[in-house]
A and B are shown apart, each in its own frame.
Chain A
Amino acid sequence: MSKTITIGSANSTGPGVTKGTLKIAEAPDGSPVAIPVIIVQGAKEGPIVWLHGCVHGNEYCGTYIIHEFLRGLDHAKLAGTVVALPVLNLPAFQAKQRMSPYEIFHGGDLNRQFPGNPEGNQSQQMAHAIYEPLKRYADVLIDFHTALTPDVRWALFPKAQGEAGALSEKIARAFGYNSTLPAPTEILAGSAMMAAAKDGIASYIVECGGKNRSFTDDSVADAAERLRNVLRALAMLEGPVTDYAPFTYFSNFAWVTAGQAGLFERSVRCGDRIEKGSVIGRYYDAWGNSRGEAKAPESGVVLAIHSGPVMALGETLIHIGLDPRQA
Chain B
Amino acid sequence: MKIIEVGNVKATKQGRHEGTLTVGAMPDGAPVELPLIILRGPRDGPVLWLHGCVHGNEYCTTFSIHEFLRSLEPAALRGSVVALPILNLTAFRMHRRSSPFEGFNNTDLNRCFPGNERGGFTERMAHAIYSPLKRYATHFVDSHTAYTSDTRWALYANNNPEVNRVGRAMAEAFGFENTLPTPPGTLVGSAMMSAGDDGIPSFLLEAGGLDDSFSRETVLDVAERLRNVARAIGLLEGEVTKYPPLTTFSNFYWATAPRSGLFKNKVRCGDTITKGQEIGTYYDLFGDARESALAPQSGIVLAINPGPIIPQGDVLVHIGLDPQCS
Find out whether the CB atom of A263 lies under 8 angstroms from the CB atom of B62. yes
User: How far apart sit A70 and B284, CA to CA, in the bound complex (Å)?
Assistant: 13
Check if A96 is an interface residue, CB within 8 A of chain B: yes
Residues of chain A contacted by B62 (CB below 8 angstroms): 263, 286, 309
Distance in Å from the Cβ of B315 to the closest Cβ of chain A? 14
Q: Which of A26-75 contact B (CB under 8 A)?
A: 35-36, 38, 60-61, 63-64, 66-68, 70-71
> Can you list, as one digit per residue, whether each of A297-309 has a CB less than 8 Å from chain B (1) or not (0)?
0000000000111
Find out whether the CB atom of B212 lies under 8 angstroms from the CB atom of A308. yes
User: How far apart sit A112 and B209, CA to CA, in the bound complex (Å)?
Assistant: 33
Find out whether the CB atom of B309 lies under 8 angstroms from the CB atom of A288. no
* Nearest-CB residue, chain B, relative to A310: B59
Residues of chain B contacted by A288 (CB below 8 angstroms): 37, 65-67, 69-70, 85
Find out whether the CB atom of A96 lies under 8 angstroms from the CB atom of B309. yes
User: How far apart sit A285 and B62, CA to CA, in the bound complex (Å)?
Assistant: 11
User: How far apart sit A214 and B212, CA to CA, in the bound complex (Å)?
Assistant: 9
Residues of chain B contacted by A87 (CB below 8 angstroms): 285
Given A70-B287, A214-B212, A288-B66, A309 contacting B308 (CB threshold 8 A): no
Given A60-B308, A263-B63, A287-B37, A38 contacting B286 (CB threshold 8 A): yes
Check if A225 is an interface residue, CB within 8 A of chain B: no
Across the interface, A93 reaches (CB within 8 A) one of B85, B214, B309, namely: B309
Check if A159 is an interface residue, CB within 8 A of chain B: no
Check if A295 is an interface residue, CB within 8 A of chain B: no
User: How far apart sit A312 and B303, CA to CA, in the bound complex (Å)?
Assistant: 29
Check if B174 is an interface residue, CB within 8 A of chain A: no
Distance in Å from the Cβ of B238 to the closest Cβ of chain A? 22
* Nearest-CB residue, chain B, relative to A309: B59
Find out whether the CB atom of B211 lies under 8 angstroms from the CB atom of A86. no
Find out whether the CB atom of A71 lies under 8 angstroms from the CB atom of B309. no
Across the interface, B286 reaches (CB within 8 A) one of A19, A96, A213, A263, namely: A19
Distance in Å from the Cβ of A100 to the closest Cβ of chain B? 16
Check if B73 is an interface residue, CB within 8 A of chain A: no
Check if A284 is an interface residue, CB within 8 A of chain B: yes
Check if A125 is an interface residue, CB within 8 A of chain B: no
Find out whether the CB atom of B262 lies under 8 angstroms from the CB atom of A63. yes
Check if A212 is an interface residue, CB within 8 A of chain B: yes
Q: Which of B28-79 contact A (CB under 8 A)?
A: 35, 37, 59-60, 62-63, 65-67, 69-70
Check if B283 is an interface residue, CB within 8 A of chain A: yes
* Nearest-CB residue, chain A, relative to B213: A213
Residues of chain A contacted by B37 (CB below 8 angstroms): 287-288
Residues of chain A contacted by B67 (CB below 8 angstroms): 288
Check if A222 is an interface residue, CB within 8 A of chain B: no
Q: Which of B70-113 contact A (CB under 8 A)?
A: 70, 85-86, 92-93, 95
**What are 10 contact pairs spanning A and B, CB under 8 A?**
A36-B285, A38-B286, A63-B308, A86-B285, A213-B308, A214-B212, A214-B213, A265-B216, A286-B85, A288-B66
Name 9 extra pairs, CB < 8 A, besides A67-B283, A212-B211, A287-B37. A64-B262, A64-B308, A67-B262, A70-B287, A213-B307, A215-B308, A287-B66, A287-B85, A308-B59
